[in-house]
Amino acid sequence: MAVYTDITEMELGAFLRGYAIGDLLSYKGIAEGTENSNFILHTSGGSFILTLYEKRVEKNDLPFFLGLMEHLARQGISCPLPVHRRDGEIIGELAGRPAAIITFLEGMWPRRPSAAHCREVGKVLAAMHLAGADFQLSRPNALSLPGWHRLWEGCVDRADEVEPGLRAEVSADFASLEAAWPADLPAGVIHADLFPDNVFFLGNDLSGVIDFYFACNDFLAYDVATCLNAWCFERDHAFNLTKGTAFLAGYQSVRPLTPTEIEALPLLCHGSALRFMLTRLYDWLNGPGGALVNKRDPLEYVRKMRFHRQIGSASEYGAVMP
Amino acid sequence: MAVYTDITEMELGAFLRGYAIGDLLSYKGIAEGTENSNFILHTSGGSFILTLYEKRVEKNDLPFFLGLMEHLARQGISCPLPVHRRDGEIIGELAGRPAAIITFLEGMWPRRPSAAHCREVGKVLAAMHLAGADFQLSRPNALSLPGWHRLWEGCVDRADEVEPGLRAEVSADFASLEAAWPADLPAGVIHADLFPDNVFFLGNDLSGVIDFYFACNDFLAYDVATCLNAWCFERDHAFNLTKGTAFLAGYQSVRPLTPTEIEALPLLCHGSALRFMLTRLYDWLNGPGGALVNKRDPLEYVRKMRFHRQIGSASEYGAVMP
DSSP conformation letters of A119-186: HHHHHHHHHHHHHGGG-----B-TTSHHHHHHHHHTTGGGHHHHSTTHHHHHHHHHHHHHHH--S-S-
User: What pLDDT is recorded for position B1?
Assistant: 40
In a domain, A322, yes or no: no
**DSSP label at B132?**
G
List the one residue out of B16, B199, B192 whose CA is nearest residue B100: B16
Mean pLDDT score, B309-317: 95
Q: Which of A28, A50, A204, A293 would you mutate first to test chain B, the one with the most B CBs within 10 A?
A: A28
* Higher per-residue confidence, A286 vs B100: B100
Are A206 and A120 spatial neighbours (Cβ–Cβ below 8 Å)? Answer: yes
Interface list for chain A against chain B, based on CB atoms closer than 8 Å: 1-2, 4, 6, 8-10, 12, 24-32, 40, 42, 47, 104-112, 200-202, 289, 292-293
β-sheet bridge partners, residue B218: B188
Kindly state whether residue A3 falls inside one of the protein's structural domains. no
Q: Which of B4-18, B22-36, B199-213 has the highest mean pLDDT?
A: B199-213
Closest Cβ–Cβ partner in A25, A28, A202 for B32: A28
φ, ψ of residue A299 to 5 degrees: the values are: -65, -25
Domain with B278, as residue range(s), is: 115-317
Residue B84 CA to residue B100 CA, distance in Å, equals: 9
Q: What is the pairing mode between strands B46-52 and A46-52?
A: unpaired
Domain count for chain B, please give it. Answer: 2
At A240, the amino acid letter reads N
Q: Are A156 and A288 in a shared domain?
A: yes
Q: Do A28 and B42 touch (CB under 8 A)?
A: no
Quick check: B220 pLDDT over 90? Answer: yes
Say yes or no: A227 and A309 in one domain. Answer: yes
Residues A264 and A153 in one domain: yes
First to last CA, chain B: 42
Q: What is the DSSP string of B112-131?
A: S--HHHHHHHHHHHHHHHHH
Q: Where a domain ends, among B49, B80, B103?
A: B103
For chains A and B, what is the number of CB pairs under 8 angstroms?
A: 83
Rounded CA separation A63/A53 (Å): 12
At A56 the pLDDT is 77
Cβ–Cβ gap B28/A32 under 8 Å: yes
Closest CA–CA distance from residue B265 to any residue of chain A (Å): 31
Q: Are strands B24-30 and B37-43 parallel, antiparallel or unpaired?
A: antiparallel
Q: How does DSSP classify residue A75?
A: T
Cα(B110)–Cα(B117) distance, rounded to whole angstroms? 8
* Pairing between β-strand B199-202 and β-strand A24-30 as defined by DSSP bridges: unpaired
d(CA B299, CA B317): 21
Check B9 against A289: CB less than 8 A apart.
Answer: no
Q: In the 8-state DSSP scheme, what is residue B290?
A: T
Regarding whether A122 and A93 lie in a shared domain, the answer is: no
B109-136 in b/e form (b: 16+ CB < 10 A) is bbeebebbbbbbbbbbbbbbbebbeebe
Q: Is residue B305 part of a domain?
A: yes
Is the pLDDT assigned to residue B290 strictly greater than 70?
A: no
Calpha distance A235→A300 (Å, rounded): 9
Q: Between A29, A202, A293, which is nearest B30 by CB? A: A29
pLDDT at B293: 47
> Nearest CA of chain B to the CA of A156: how many Å?
27
Q: Find the distance separating the first CA and the last CA of chain A, reported in whole Å.
A: 42
**Neighbour-count burial of A81, counting CB atoms closer than 10 A to its CB (0-12 exposed, 13-18 middle, 19+ buried):** middle
Which residues are CB-neighbours of A3 under 8 A, at least 6 positions away? Answer: A34, A35, A36, A37, A54
The reported pLDDT for the residue numbered A32 is: 73
Q: Does residue B183 belong to any structural domain of this protein?
A: yes
CA B90 to CA B194: how far, in whole Å?
23
Q: Check which CATH number belongs to the domain holding B15 and give it.
A: 3.30.200.20
**Which pLDDT score is estimated for A1?**
40
Residues of B in contact with A107 (CB under 8 A): 25-26
Does one domain contain both B119 and B58?
no
**C-alpha A200: how far from its chain's center?**
13
**How far is Cα B220 from Cα B129, in angstroms, rounded to an integer?**
7
Query: Which among A30, A105, A111 has the least Cβ separation from residue B31?
Result: A30
Among B39, B74, B103, identify where a domain stops: B103
Q: Which chain A residues touch B111 with a CB distance below 8 Å?
A: 6, 8-10
Mean pLDDT, chain B, whole residue set: 93
Mutation pick from A17, A26, A48, A78 vs chain B, by most beta carbons of B within 10 Å, is A26
- Residues B42 and B156 grouped into a single domain: no
Of B24, B27, B40, the CB nearest to A28: B40
Let me know if residue B77 belongs to a domain.
yes
Query: Does one domain contain both A147 and A279?
Result: yes
Q: Looking at residue B267, which CATH number applies to its domain?
A: 3.90.1200.10
Q: Cα-flanking dihedrals φ and ψ of residue B158, to 5°? A: -115, 10
Residues B121 and B172 in one domain: yes
Question: Do residue A98 and residue A122 come from a single domain?
Answer: no
Are the C-beta atoms of residues B51 and B91 closer than 8 Å to each other? no
Query: Shortest Cα distance from A31 to chain B (angstroms)?
Result: 5
One-letter amino acid identity for A7?
A: I
Question: What integer pLDDT is reported at residue A57 of this predicted model?
Answer: 80
A88 and A119 within one domain: no
Say if residues A30 and A39 touch (Cβ distance below 8 Å): yes
Cβ neighbours, 10 Å, residue A209: 25
Contact B292 A289 (CB under 8 A): yes
Task: Report chain B residues touching chain A, CB-CB < 8 A.
Answer: 1-2, 4, 6, 8-10, 12, 24-32, 40, 42, 47, 104-112, 200-202, 289, 292-293
Question: A39 CA to chain B: closest CA distance, Å?
Answer: 9
Q: Of B75, B103, B131, which residue constitutes the final position of a domain? A: B103
**CB atoms A1 and B6 under 8 Å:** no
pLDDT in tens, chain A (322 residues): 444 678 999 999 999 999 999 999 999 998 776 678 899 999 999 999 999 998 878 889 999 999 999 999 999 999 999 999 999 999 999 999 999 999 999 999 999 999 999 999 999 999 999 999 999 999 999 999 999 999 999 999 999 999 999 999 999 999 999 999 999 999 999 999 999 999 999 988 999 999 999 999 999 999 999 999 999 999 999 999 999 999 999 999 999 999 999 999 999 999 999 999 999 999 888 876 543 445 688 999 999 999 999 999 999 999 987 6
A108 within some domain: no
| A254 shares its domain with A119 | yes
In a domain, B2, yes or no: no
What does the pLDDT average to over B83-101? 95
Best probe of the A interface among B7, B9, B12, B43, by most A CBs < 10 A, is B9
Look at B42 and A47 and tell me if their CB atoms are within 8 Å: yes
Beta strands in chain A (DSSP E): 24-30, 37-43, 46-52, 92-94, 97-103, 187-190, 199-202, 205-209, 216-219
Can you tell me the mean pLDDT for B32-60? 88
Regarding whether A178 and A68 lie in a shared domain, the answer is no
What confidence score (pLDDT) does residue B34 get?
64
What is residue A36's predicted lDDT score, i.e. its pLDDT? 86
**Residue B15 falls inside a structural domain:** yes
Of A1, A9, A108, the CB nearest to B26: A108
What pLDDT sits at residue A185? 97
Q: What is the pLDDT averaged over residues B95-122?
A: 96
Q: What pLDDT was estimated at residue A322?
A: 67
